[in-house]
Amino acid sequence: NNYSTHIPFSKAKEGNFIQDAPHLENSFEGDTLLQRNLQRILPAEAYSNVKDELSMFGARVATDIYKLGRECELIPPYLKLQDAWANPQNKVVTCESWKELKKISAREGLISLAYERDPKHQGFSRLIQMSKNYLFAPSSGLYSCPLAMTDGAAKTLEVSGLKDHGESFKNLTSRDPEKFWTSGQWMTEKRGGSDVAGGTETLAIQDPNKENMYKLYGYKFFSSATDADIALTLARVVDPATGKITSGTKGLSLFLIYVDQPSNLHLMRLKQKLGTKQLPTGELLLDGMTAELISPPGRGVASISQMLNITRLHNASASVSAMRRIISLARDYSNRRVAFGKLIRNHPLHVRTLADMELECRAGFSLFMEAGRLLSLEENGTPTIEQQQLLRLLLPLLKLYTGKQCMKVVSEGLESFGGQGYMEDTGIPVILRDAQVTPIWEGTTNILSLDVLRALAKSEGQVLVAFHQRIQGVLDSTTNPSLAECCTQLEKYRSQLISFAQKNPDQLEYVARDFAFGLARTLAGALLLEHASWGRAVDSDRAAAERWLGQRDLLAQSLVSGQTVSHSSLSVQQLDEALV
Ligand code: UCC
Ligand code: FAD
């Protein structure tokens, strides 16, 4: 350093050091865990039939699709109520990239893959479709959201026997970009989104001349797909004879709406949101919209739960893939950033921080893969009753657990870039903003914890039997002696959970969150162990199972002590109230 001949920063506006930015890798080729899981779960021929498609798509996700998604964040949608001459417009304007992503979604079969049931997938079309959506989500500029609802609507129409009824199902599942439709899901009203039955004020007035046709009047407070072609929504049918409605869940029915009804649908405003800014989420006034009743009267909530179960799976896809994306970027950056004289990848504490993130991601990912596997079996018509019960339990667990996990992991991931993680033009902060919605929409953490109890009650405990048996299957097939300690731990957690539920049924609601987290973590432990026992597992697979089961407390103290203990004369609930 001879400062007499060269003065750094002199006539060099940027200084003389430029930090290498993190690089996005091919999302499929870089995700060896996804590859190994698909290899383990799919028949060999099915895997070899899809791996090139996934690899090509993984390359696009890191290049052109990423650019389109980024543009959706930078050019957010807006509401155009009038033109310059005050002619009413009443439309949402989205950017060209958003429209292009719709076309790509159709061509890539992001919805249709699950419904075509191509024999070359050998019964695993759903798992393959969800894997592709998982690759897509973190680059999709939140186009993953309308896709989730489109998938949920297609599923609802399919299970309701309405595949051949009108154009909807055909278009929702089309690969032709000119025909492809998306769907909205209009459930939430001003009075409430969790308590849908308590919150829904929308009225449905029957058209006396047309069977099953109604006019809807109401105010939908959140609609994330204001640009959709159709929507599924709930309303209360007004009895034509008495003019009365039925309150509560039993009064709600499910309707299909064609969105393009400008005289009867008023876009009141777009929401000003913390994140998901790419999405045109709006408030809608339904002023006599024509709608078709598609559920038996009074079965609206039960019918739309078919949709919820699919959108919740997509929610988990978004949560897990956000974790995967930030870990992938952080890993790459650790090979480019130097601190204290060496690459940060050579600081063991930094690598340990990344390893902890990876462990969380793997646990969530294992639950996601299991849901895709079980749903494939169900849609293939070959599930056992036990597998159906497990899927019913797993879907809320998966959504609630991964939604919370991704907040923690993505926040940690941001920190791994130091101050740059906080800078908008790196494209990193948007990952955190968008992650924050995954625990909220599609049912909050508490509501889904209560859904787990609903599944338990409705099945008279059979969902827990299925949970027990799935774990037993893993224990029985784990013969590797080096994993024996994992088996012991797994058995311990399973028995603590089940005995808590049996001994304390009256406390389950109060500890529903702890209970659901415990179930999710324990099942994830079993799935990590199953993967670690696979003949082609690698060191990291075994390390994940050993650390998850051996070095973490998977259950909250409230479950382990067998009761919610209070050492004062007040009950724990009274103490909570005092604290709050
Ligand atoms: O947020 C939304 C869209 C966001 C954008 C899309 C993002 C997608 C991800 C993208 C990733 C980037 S749409 C709004 C979402 N809203 C919710 O999730 C609502 C949350 N609240 C609940 O889930 C509640 O638990 C309710 C509304 C279901 C509770 O209602 P009730 O009135 O108390 O319901 P009941 O009486 O318990 O249940 C009525 C029937 C029962 O069946 P029957 O009558 O046969 O006994 C239940 O067993 O519905 C059945 N049921 C279910 N069945 C209820 N939930 C389920 C379920 N999950 N699975 C199966
Ligand atoms: P509330 O129901 O008022 O809940 C408030 C709090 O009370 C929550 O923490 C909840 O967990 C807790 N709570 C409520 N009941 C209980 C209970 N019994 N026990 C314990 N805790 C309880 N909805 C749609 O229908 N379509 C959409 O397209 C859509 N898009 C959205 C987009 C965004 C960006 C957001 C943020 C929301 C969207 N929603 C949409 C709405 C979303 O589904 C709801 O906000 C969500 O379900 C919660 O409902 P709420 O806002 O009424 O909260």
> Nearest C-alpha to atom 22 of ligand 2 is from which residue?
446
Residues 383-400: tens digit of each pLDDT: 999 999 999 999 999 999
Of 22-31, 105-114, 338-347, 550-559, the one with minimum mean pLDDT is: 550-559
pLDDT band at 260 (very low <50, low <70, confident <90, very high): very high
Residue 16 and residue 336: Cα distance in Å, rounded?
Answer: 16
What are residue 286's DSSP bridge partners?
A: 218, 265
Indicate whether 172 belongs to any domain. Answer: no
Domain C-terminal end among 240, 268, 300: 300
Residues 56-96: tens digit of each pLDDT: 999 999 999 999 999 999 999 999 999 999 998 889 999 99
Average pLDDT over residues 526-546: 97
Is the pLDDT reported for residue 562 higher than 60? no
For 52, the 3-state DSSP assignment is helix
Residues 464-521: tens digit of each pLDDT: 999 999 999 999 999 999 999 999 999 999 999 999 999 999 999 999 999 999 999 9
Which residues are CB-neighbours of 215 under 8 A, at least 6 positions away? 204, 205, 207, 264, 288, 289, 290, 291
Indicate whether 555 belongs to any domain. Answer: yes
Is the pLDDT reported for residue 153 higher than 70? yes
Contact in structure between 553 and 521 (CB atoms under 8 Å): no
- Å from CA of 453 to ligand 1 middle: 13
Q: Mind spelling out the 3-state secondary structure of 327-362?
A: HHHHHHHHCCCEECCEEHHHCHHHHHHHHHHHHHHH
Domain C-terminal end among 244, 278, 300: 300
Indicate whether 370 belongs to any domain. Answer: no
Of 1-10, 183-192, 351-360, the one with minimum mean pLDDT is: 1-10
pLDDT band at 564 (very low <50, low <70, confident <90, very high): low
311 within ligand 1 shell (Cβ under 6 A): yes
- The domain of 217 spans 183-300
Residue 563 and residue 403: Cα distance in Å, rounded?
Answer: 27
284 within ligand 2 shell (Cβ under 6 A): no
Indicate whether 263 belongs to any domain. Answer: yes
Ligand 1 atom showing the smallest separation from residue 225 Cα: 5
DSSP state of 554: -
Question: How close are the terminal C-alpha atoms of the chain, in Å?
Answer: 61
Residue 526 and residue 548: Cα distance in Å, rounded?
Answer: 10
Q: How many other CB atoms are found less than 10 A from the CB of residue 509?
A: 11
- Å from CA of 155 to ligand 1 middle: 15
Q: How many other CB atoms are found less than 10 A from the CB of residue 32?
A: 12
Indicate whether 246 belongs to any domain. Answer: yes
Q: Please choose, from the candidates 401, 390, 396, the residue with its C-alpha nearest in 3D space to the C-alpha of residue 521.
A: 401
Contact in structure between 172 and 150 (CB atoms under 8 Å): yes
Residue 77 and residue 141: Cα distance in Å, rounded?
Answer: 12
232 within ligand 1 shell (Cβ under 6 A): no
pLDDT at 8: 72
User: What residue type is assigned to position 262 of the chain?
Assistant: P
Ligand 1 atom showing the smallest separation from residue 317 Cα: 11
pLDDT at 382: 83
Contact in structure between 53 and 26 (CB atoms under 8 Å): no
Indicate whether 318 belongs to any domain. Answer: no
275 within ligand 2 shell (Cβ under 6 A): no
249 within ligand 1 shell (Cβ under 6 A): yes
pLDDT band at 427 (very low <50, low <70, confident <90, very high): very high
pLDDT at 1: 62
Domain C-terminal end among 283, 300, 317: 300
> Nearest C-alpha to atom 4 of ligand 1 is from which residue?
441
Is the pLDDT reported for residue 463 higher than 80? yes
- What's the CATH code of the domain at 206? 2.40.110.10
Is the pLDDT reported for residue 121 higher than 90? yes
- Å from CA of 187 to ligand 2 middle: 10
For 559, the 3-state DSSP assignment is helix
What are residue 230's DSSP bridge partners?
A: 183, 258
Indicate whether 445 belongs to any domain. Answer: no
Indicate whether 34 belongs to any domain. Answer: no
Average pLDDT over residues 283-288: 98
Total structural domains within the chain: 2
CA 75, distance to chain mean position in Å, is 24
